[in-house]
Chains A and B, each alone.
Chain A
Amino acid sequence: MNLGAYGENSALNFLEAKGYEHVARNFRFQRAEIDLIVKDESKKLVVFVEVKTRKNNKFGGPEESVTQKKTEQICKSAEGFILQHPEFADYAKRFDIIAIIMDGKSNTINHFENAF
């Protein structure tokens, strides 16, 4: 398993631990991809998640590598997802980043809610 897929697995386990439900993974719309889509049914909330995984922190936190262009693509792709899944049209939407650093014996998982 490559680093990205490993990170997405860890992020999904982490989000499920926090009580979110899995909706979709690697959702692609035109050229933009969203790593994870989860929901919180009790809050009528759908969350679009960008997962960034790094083996160390030497080049700045993983969350810093999410560029403006990337966030625009994710927003566009999120619109596409809502178009294809109208059952989520009246849900609140949120964009999160999950930053994973695999340095040492424990994975550091940071969850940035409402990241962009």
Chain B
Amino acid sequence: MKLNFRTRTGKIFRHDNRIRKKLSGLLCGVDEAGRGPVAGPVVAAAVIFGDDTFIEGIFDSKQVMPAKREVLFEEIINSAHTYGIGIVDNKKIDEINILNATKMAMSIAVSRLKEIPEMIMADGNFFSYDTAKVENMIKGDARSYSIAAASILAKVTRDRIMCEYQKAYPNFSFSSHKGYCTLNHIDEILEHGYTDIHRRSYKLKALQGELF
């Protein structure tokens, strides 16, 4: 198959290959999903690819259609060298705050890799890891192939978790809003109150003075 490297996937794929050439060890991408929502866990993923694993379509998970993400999820898992997922629940988020919980989820994801990478590229500007060099990249999920792949693993995993919660909390439409603060979700909270999976530390302006 002839590969078209002029697509957005091709561009970020080349970006990673340029970095990989300078390394002797493995290159890992890390990203998270679920920092914004008021319910559910924060999920992070770490992915290590070999240098010739090109999957057309990989890009920032926010810019890929949900159905396509599901397909890419399977392809990434099948062709990655190794991957890891980290999940931190809403109770822990309330206890240690969302930034620390996100760092924790990312570290757990890295610890589940089968091998320790030489370099980790992480989306954002806050990650650190003891046993590997870390390169933080703002908007990394649209600049690095490995981070973009991690963003898809994290997003799909989190969406699946939220769809499972739909069964446990039929009063809430977690399978559609995924815990994000949509108008519909706010109405549901006003009507039914918080559930066990809501992040109590998130103070919603729309709810001030109405719940307490």
A residues contacting B by CB (< 8 A) are 10, 13-14, 16-19, 102, 105-109
The reply to whether the CB of B154 lies closer than 8 angstroms to some CB of chain A is: no
- The answer to whether A10 and B83 touch across the interface, beta carbons within 8 angstroms, is no
Q: CB-CB < 8 A to A108: which residues of B? A: 112
CB <8 Å contact, B114 and A102: yes
Within the complex, the shortest CB–CB distance from A109 to chain B, in Å, comes to: 6
Q: State whether B112 touches A16 (Cβ < 8 A).
A: no
Q: Is the CB of B84 within 8 A of A107?
A: yes
- Mask, B73-88, CB within 8 Å of A = 1, is 0000100111111100
Which of A16, A18, A19, A106 is close to B113, meaning CB atoms less than 8 Å apart?
A: A106
Subset of 20 A-B contacts with CB under 8 Å:
A10-B111, A10-B112, A13-B131, A14-B111, A14-B112, A16-B107, A16-B111, A16-B130, A17-B104, A17-B108, A17-B111, A19-B96, A19-B104, A105-B80, A105-B114, A106-B82, A106-B113, A106-B114, A107-B84, A109-B112
Per CB-CB distance, the 9 closest pairs between chain A and chain B, nearest first, are A17-B107, A13-B111, A14-B111, A17-B108, A17-B111, A107-B112, A105-B82, A106-B83, A106-B84
Taking the complex as formed, is B110 at the interface, i.e. its CB lies under 8 A from any CB of chain A? yes
**Residues of chain A contacted by B104 (CB below 8 angstroms):** 17-19
Cα A6 to Cα B81 in complex, Å, equals 18
Interface of B is mostly: mixed
CA distance A79 to B114 in the complex (A): 34
Smallest CB-CB separation from A13: which chain B residue? B111
- Residue pair B114, A14 in contact (C-beta under 8 Å): no
In the docked arrangement, what's the CA distance between A13 and B112, Å? 9
CA distance A15 to B36 in the complex (A): 26
Most chain A CB within a 10 A radius of its CB, from B81, B83, B111, B130: B111
Contacts of B111 in A (CB 8 A): 10, 13-14, 16-17, 109
Q: Considering residues B96, B104, B107, B130, which has the most beta carbons from chain A within 10 angstroms of its beta carbon?
A: B107
Residues in chain A near residue B107, CB distance under 8 A: 13, 16-18
Within 8 A of A (CB), among B55-106: 77, 80-86, 96, 104
Report the bound CA distance from A18 to B111 in whole Å: 10
Complex partner residue of B108 from A14, A102, A105, CB under 8 angstroms: A14
Known: A13-B131, A16-B130. A106 touches B112 (CB 8 A): yes
Contact B81 A105 (CB under 8 A): yes
Complexed CA–CA distance, A19 and B108 (Å): 10
**Closest partner residue, chain B, to A102 (CB atom):** B114
Question: With A13-B110, A17-B111, A18-B108 given, is the CB distance from A105 to B77 under 8 Å?
Answer: yes
Nearest to B116 among chain A residues (CB) is: A13
Instruction: Give me 13 other A-B pairs in contact (C-beta within 8 A), A13-B116, A16-B130, A107-B112 excluded.
Output: A13-B110, A13-B131, A14-B108, A16-B111, A17-B86, A17-B111, A18-B104, A102-B114, A106-B84, A106-B113, A106-B114, A107-B84, A108-B112
Output the nearest chain B residue to A109 by Cβ-Cβ distance.
B112
